[in-house]
A = this chain, B = another copy of it.
Amino acid sequence: MPVAAHPFDEAIELEPTEASGWLRGRTRPDWANMVGPFGGMTAAVLLRAVEEQPDRIGEPLALTVNFAAPVADGPFDIAARAVRTNRTTQHWLVELWQDGAVKTNATAVFGVRRDTWSHTEQTRPAVPEPVDVAETGLPDMIAWARNYEMRYVEGAVPGPGAQPEPSSVTTLWARDRRGRALDFAALTAISDIFYPRIFLRRGAMSPAGTVSLTTYFHADGAQLAAVGDYVLASARANRFAGGYFDQSAELWSETGELLATTHQMVYFKA
């Protein structure tokens, strides 16, 4: 009996093409956002496109994804090109193309990690265990969110009749609903799991979209595979002004490791 592919693996699946560095993928309905695909999935696919290059060295260190134009439902082509290969680091340029235009562009830095002095200076929020937090989620019309089990410790998405909140902090436990293990692509997707901070501050949903997303990876692949499936994700905004706000967030393992830090600039109307 064939084993059904996991929906996340289906969505990041890329086919080789005849052109060097070019891969082909397609959006999947179960990863749709309000318009087009979930940005975290687009980011994950771009990262995966680098991971699949035969000349890639090391593991992801930093990824910046710029959401230049809406990705349409359907097929897309990704071009990944190493702009520089050093002894232990490699710099990549990645573009998602549809209909002859760049829809999303990214830069990635991959590298080989070494044993060094290490310390986590950021402190993990003090929160209850996942089992002690009610499972809620995002409104049902947001298809991609159904792929995650979400347990909001604070700052859940405002519902009908919600009031503006003085803080933009959201902290939640999240994991893949079907138990897929964490890897860099999964962590990249989770780095965009937060609904826009402006919703919380205004007490209502409103038009908003990420324009640029940067993720720094602190754990290596072996550590990621070993930490379990729940991620504690905590985000806040620093300033809202002129139709844009920034967000900074941390992604922690259940066992207390800081797996990634991630930042974004977001367009909003309000």
A residues lining the B interface (CB < 8 Å): 61-62, 64, 66, 68-69, 83-84, 86, 89, 91, 93, 95, 101-103, 105-107, 109, 111, 113-122, 167-168, 198, 201-202, 211-212, 214, 216, 218-220, 236-244, 246, 248, 250, 258, 261, 263, 265, 267-270
Contacts and interface: CB of A to CB of B under 8 A. Distances in A.
A47 B167 CA distance: 33
A264 B245 CA distance: 19
B83 A239 contact: no
Given A239-B120, A242-B220, A69 B86 contact: yes
Given A68-B84, A119-B239, A238-B258, A212 B267 contact: no
A66 B107 contact: yes
Contacts of A239: 118-122, 218, 258, 261
A85 B144 CA distance: 28
Given A244-B113, A258-B239, A268-B116, A105 B107 contact: yes
Given A116-B270, A121-B168, A240-B117, A61 B218 contact: no
A117 B202 contact: yes
Nearest to A262: B263
A219 B240 CA distance: 10
Contact of A121 (B102, B167, B212): B167
A208 to B, nearest CB: 11
Given A62-B265, A66-B91, A111-B244, 6 more contacts: A62-B212, A64-B107, A69-B86, A93-B93, A216-B263, A246-B261
A122 to B, nearest CB: 4
8 contacts: A62-B211, A69-B84, A91-B102, A117-B198, A121-B238, A121-B240, A122-B238, A261-B263
Given A107-B66, A211-B61, A270-B116, A121 B91 contact: no
Nearest to A114: B243
Contacts of A261: 238-239, 246, 248, 263
A190 to B, nearest CB: 17
A19 to B, nearest CB: 19
A126 to B, nearest CB: 17
A56 to B, nearest CB: 15
Contacts of A243: 111, 113-114, 116
Contacts of A270: 116-117
Nearest to A93: B105
Nearest to A89: B211
A72 B270 CA distance: 46
